[in-house]
Every structure is written in C-alpha cells, then in structure tokens.
C-alpha cells in the first residue's frame, strides 16, 4: 500500500468497490454478517475520523492565519490588500459555482430528485429538518447573524454550530495580536502547534482513505447498483465546468484589468499547477508556487513571501466553489428547494470555511460537513462525494494555487513592482 500514490490507491479502491457492487448485492452475507454492514462500518469509521477533526482544525487554522497578519503598518496594508483580493476572488468563484449548479441542476435526473438513486434517506424526513432551520423573509437573515454570535461557544462547538465557531475564531485571531507581546507569542505558539498537529492527523487519517472509499462506495453500489453514477457524472461536469470558467475567464479578466498578460501567467505557473494537481495539496505545493511566482513571473520576494503562504492557507477559490456546488447538489438530490436565505447562507459559509480549510488533500470534505450541518442536511450524503472526490480535489487544488499566484502578481503590481509579465 505504502509505495503506491494515494490517488492511485483510491482509484483502485473505487474500482474494487465497483467490482464488488457488480458481483454481489445488498443481501449477500459473509460468515453470517451482511456485506453491506461491513462496508457501512468501515465507511462510517472513516467519516467519523474526519468529523472528529472539525472543531480544532477550523479554530486553529483561522486563528493562525489571521494572527499571522498582525504587526507593522506595512504588513497591515499588504495584509488588507491580500485579504481583500482573496476574499473577492473566492466570492467570484463561489458565485460561478452557484450559477452553474442552479443552471445545470446535477442533483435532478429526468425531472426527479436523484436522492433515491444515491441511497439517500427519504427526502420528507430531511425537509422537515431543513424547514426547522431555514425560513423565509428578513427575520431569517437576522437568524443567520444570531447563529454567528452564539451565547455559548463550547455548546456551539459541541452542537456542530460552525458559523459561531468560525466567527469566534476570527475575533480571537484579530484581538490576539492586540495584547502584550509575551502572552500573544504563547498563544500563537499554542495555536500553531494545534494547527500543525491537526494537519498531521488529517494526513494520517487520509492514509486510510482508500479503505474509507472502498467502504462508502461499495456500500452505495451494493444498495443502489449503478444508478449512483449518473447523477454524479453531472455533478462532476458541473464542478469541472465552473472551475474552468473561473480559471480561464474570471481570473484571466482580473489579470488583464491589472495590466498583466494572462497567457504568459498561465505558462509561468504551469509547474506549480501540475504539482498542485498531483499532490492535491496547496500547502505542499507552496515552495513550487513561490519559485514560479518569483522566477517566472518576476514578483519580488518581499511580496511573494507574504502573499503566497497566506494564500495557501486562506485563499481557496476552487475549494470554495466546490463546497458551494456540492452542498447545493446534495440539497437537489434530496429534492429540496433552497430559499434565497439558505443559498445566501451556503455562499457565506463556503467563503468562511474555504478560509479555514487546510491546504491538504480532501480537506474540503471536512468543510462540506460544516456546510451541511449549518443548513441542516444529514452528513451521510457526503459519502457519495467520495466517488469523485480525489480527481476533483486535484483539479480544485490547481485552481487554489493559480488564484494564489494571481493574488501575488496583482498585489505586486499595485505595490509598483517592475519586471512583471505584461
Ligand atoms: N486539497 C485542497 C488544497 O490543498 C483543499 C481541498 O479542497 O480539499 O488546496
């Protein structure tokens, strides 16, 4: 297992799951135990392991990212520009995803919600839950903000109320930099340690991803046969299309508006994008990104050393877009009409969680559990996303890295740097 790259292992696991699904059905037993319940157990164990990380991972990555910005005026200005650029580009990415997922409706097949083909539980059971969370009118927008400021942060974390936790972490990161130096350093060291440990645990859990995929995919196919693939194909196409539009239209326009040459920039960034594609980790790709941005695109080290590491942590256009498409796809598959308020919530949470997501493989899965929790959809639906997750992860990570590099060149330009690709 150890030698083969993870994405190959996962592809093999998917193939194995498909073969198992072809050979057996839901009634098959092994030594008296149903095959379905064995795969269900393996899959759930893997999902639980991912979910276990949510609270510490989200808190520490946001706090470390925001606190890292503190310091002199110079850093403050660069920080404001960087965060501003990254927030706008992620928002644009999410809106493209939102538009395409509403236009193409990948969760609806032949006019019917695809939920039953995907072995999801009865839509009625879910929609009563959803109605409890969402509603109509202005009163519910105030509800979103009320959830953002929970009266008890520990209870919010325990209840999976991530919006409150994210907002609290943002405040914590900002105000941590305003206290005296010594305790601030201690806190930063602590949260850095938590963050790095969480990244390590995530990587460790990902070692079991092939097994998790096998369990979750085999379980789905055993129960549903191949009906599962048709809705997923449309989902796959929707995500790929939206990623392409963002990379080749939106970001190209942004570069043009900044007076830069998009074609030259694509060429300059190719090694970084290919590395991102094969590692599915923007953090892992960072050294290559810095090298390409400095050597090929002509950005100074002063700018790139600040903008790119921050980008690798907080700027994930591809991830934000993917989260939004995935959440709405799942809602469509359950046959739910999402109100404006709920779609607004999804956009907001996708934006905030994409900031909190770590630049490591499959980190979005954790963020999607957050979104589903916020809008009140069952987390089990995430299992089916694993079928296409690895390849989409490779693609969205390339977009994440490309957008980081766009931030670097545009900000370098605004700082009056010469020697850029124009
Ligand atoms: N793998 C992505 C990255 O490193 C994060 C994700 O979307 O899962 O940028």
Q: Cα of 391 to ligand 1 centre, how many Å?
A: 11
Q: Cα of 204 to ligand 1 centre, how many Å?
A: 16
Highest-pLDDT range among 132-146, 163-177, 257-271: 257-271
Does residue 421 lie in a domain region? no
Q: Cα of 403 to ligand 1 centre, how many Å?
A: 13
For 362: left if phi > 0, alpha if psi spans -120 to 50, otherwise beta; the answer is: left
Pocket lining: 350 vs ligand 1, CB cutoff 6 Å? no
Atom of ligand 1 nearest to the CA of 363: 8
Residue 29 is given by DSSP the state E
Does residue 422 lie in a domain region? no
Residue 269 · residue 296 · CB < 8 Å: yes
Q: Is 359 helix (H, G, I), strand (E, B) or coil?
A: coil
pLDDT in tens, 195-219: 888 878 877 887 887 898 788 778 8
Residue 30 is given by DSSP the state E
Among residues of the chain, what percentage have pLDDT more than 90?
A: 32
Atom of ligand 1 nearest to the CA of 364: 8
Confidence bin at 39 (pLDDT 50/70/90): very high
The range of the structural domain enclosing residue 267 comes to 6-414
Distance CA 95, CA 91 (A): 6
Backbone phi, psi, residue 69, to 5°? -80, -20
Does residue 227 lie in a domain region? yes
Taking 90 as the threshold, does the pLDDT of residue 313 lie above it? no
**Average model confidence (pLDDT) across the chain:** 83
Distance CA 276, CA 5 (A): 14
Distance CA 243, CA 412 (A): 25
Pocket lining: 393 vs ligand 1, CB cutoff 6 Å? yes
Taking 80 as the threshold, does the pLDDT of residue 75 lie above it? no
The DSSP H or E segment spanning 109 is strand 108-109
Of residues 179 and 50, the one with the higher pLDDT is 179
Which of 41-45, 106-110, 348-352, 412-416 is predicted with the least confidence, judged by mean pLDDT?
A: 106-110
Separation of first and last alpha carbons in the chain: 46
Please give the full DSSP string across 121-153, using - where no structure is assigned. PPHHHHHHHHHHH--SSHHHHHHHHHHHS-S-H
CATH of the domain at 272: 1.10.3860
Q: Which of 265, 260, 287 is nearest to 276 (CA)?
A: 287
Note the pLDDT of residue 119: 64
Query: What is the arithmetic mean of pLDDT over 330-352?
Result: 89
Confidence bin at 125 (pLDDT 50/70/90): very low
Which of 17-31, 130-144, 283-297 is predicted with the least confidence, judged by mean pLDDT?
A: 130-144
Note the pLDDT of residue 136: 36
Taking 70 as the threshold, does the pLDDT of residue 330 lie above it? yes
Residue 304 · residue 408 · CB < 8 Å: yes
Confidence bin at 123 (pLDDT 50/70/90): very low
Query: What is the arithmetic mean of pLDDT over 247-259?
Result: 96
Backbone phi, psi, residue 33, to 5°? -105, 140
Candidate of 362, 366, 369, 370 to mutate for ligand 1, largest count of ligand atoms within 8 Å of Cβ? 362
Pocket lining: 281 vs ligand 1, CB cutoff 6 Å? yes
Candidate of 243, 316, 362, 392 to mutate for ligand 1, largest count of ligand atoms within 8 Å of Cβ? 316
Note the pLDDT of residue 49: 83
Pocket lining: 397 vs ligand 1, CB cutoff 6 Å? yes
Candidate of 361, 371, 386, 404 to mutate for ligand 1, largest count of ligand atoms within 8 Å of Cβ? 361
Does residue 1 lie in a domain region? no
Note the pLDDT of residue 55: 82
Note the pLDDT of residue 11: 76
Residue 164 · residue 153 · CB < 8 Å: yes
Confidence bin at 321 (pLDDT 50/70/90): very high
Question: How many structural domains comprise the chain?
Answer: 1
Atom of ligand 1 nearest to the CA of 357: 5
Q: What is the dihedral of CA 43, 46, 48, 51, to 10 degrees?
A: -120
Taking 90 as the threshold, does the pLDDT of residue 139 lie above it? no
Note the pLDDT of residue 312: 84
Does residue 181 lie in a domain region? yes
Confidence bin at 408 (pLDDT 50/70/90): very high
pTM of the model: 0.73
Distance CA 119, CA 86 (A): 37
Does residue 364 lie in a domain region? yes
Does residue 135 lie in a domain region? yes
Query: What is the arithmetic mean of pLDDT over 26-52?
Result: 86
Note the pLDDT of residue 144: 63
Among residues of the chain, what percentage have pLDDT more than 70?
A: 87
Confidence bin at 268 (pLDDT 50/70/90): very high
pLDDT in tens, 140-192: 556 667 777 999 999 988 876 767 887 898 788 888 888 998 999 999 999 98
């Amino acid at each position: 297992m150890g030698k083969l790259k993870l994405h190959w292992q996962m592809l093999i696991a998917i193939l194995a799951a498909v073969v198992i699904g072809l050979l057996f059905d839901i009634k098959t037993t092994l030594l008296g135990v149903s095959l379905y319940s064995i795969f269900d157990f393996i899959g759930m164990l893997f999902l639980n392991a991912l979910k276990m990380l949510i609270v510490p991972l989200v808190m520490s990555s946001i706090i470390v990212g925001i606190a890292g910005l503190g310091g002199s005026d110079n850093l403050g200005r660069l920080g404001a520009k960087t965060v501003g650029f990254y927030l706008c580009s992620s928002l644009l990415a999410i809106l493209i995803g939102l538009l395409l997922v509403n236009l193409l409706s990948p969760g609806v097949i032949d006019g019917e919600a695809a939920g039953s083909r995907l072995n999801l539980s009865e839509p009625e059971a879910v929609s009563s839950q959803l109605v409890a969370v969402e509603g109509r009118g202005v009163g519910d927008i105030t509800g979103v903000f009320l959830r953002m400021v929970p009266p008890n942060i520990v209870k919010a974390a325990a209840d999976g109320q991530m919006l409150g936790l994210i907002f609290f972490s943002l405040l914590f990161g900002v105000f941590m930099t305003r206290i005296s130096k010594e305790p601030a350093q201690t806190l930063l060291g602590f949260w850095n340690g938590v963050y790095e440990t969480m990244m390590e645990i995530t990587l460790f859990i990902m070692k079991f991803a092939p097994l998790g995929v096998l369990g979750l995919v085999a379980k789905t196919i055993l129960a549903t046969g191949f009906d599962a693939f048709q809705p997923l194909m449309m989902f796959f196409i929707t995500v790929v299309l939206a990623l392409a539009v963002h990379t080749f239209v939106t970001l190209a326009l942004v570069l043009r508006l900044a007076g830069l040459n998009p074609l030259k920039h694509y060429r300059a960034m190719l090694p970084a994008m290919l590395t991102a594609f094969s590692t599915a980790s923007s953090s892992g790709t960072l050294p290559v990104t810095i090298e390409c941005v400095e050597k090929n695109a002509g950005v100074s080290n002063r700018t790139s050393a600040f903008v790119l590491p921050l980008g690798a942590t907080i700027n994930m256009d591809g991830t934000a877009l993917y989260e939004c498409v995935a959440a709405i796809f799942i809602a469509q598959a359950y046959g739910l009409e999402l109100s404006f308020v709920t779609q607004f919530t999804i956009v907001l949470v996708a934006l905030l969680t994409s900031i909190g997501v770590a630049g490591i493989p499959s980190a979005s899965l954790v963020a999607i559990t957050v979104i589903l929790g916020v809008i009140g959809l069952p987390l089990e639906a995430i299992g089916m996303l694993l079928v296409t997750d690895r390849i989409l992860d490779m693609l969205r990570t390339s977009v994440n890295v490309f957008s980081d590099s766009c931030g670097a060149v545009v900000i370098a330009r605004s700082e009056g740097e010469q020697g850029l690709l124009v």
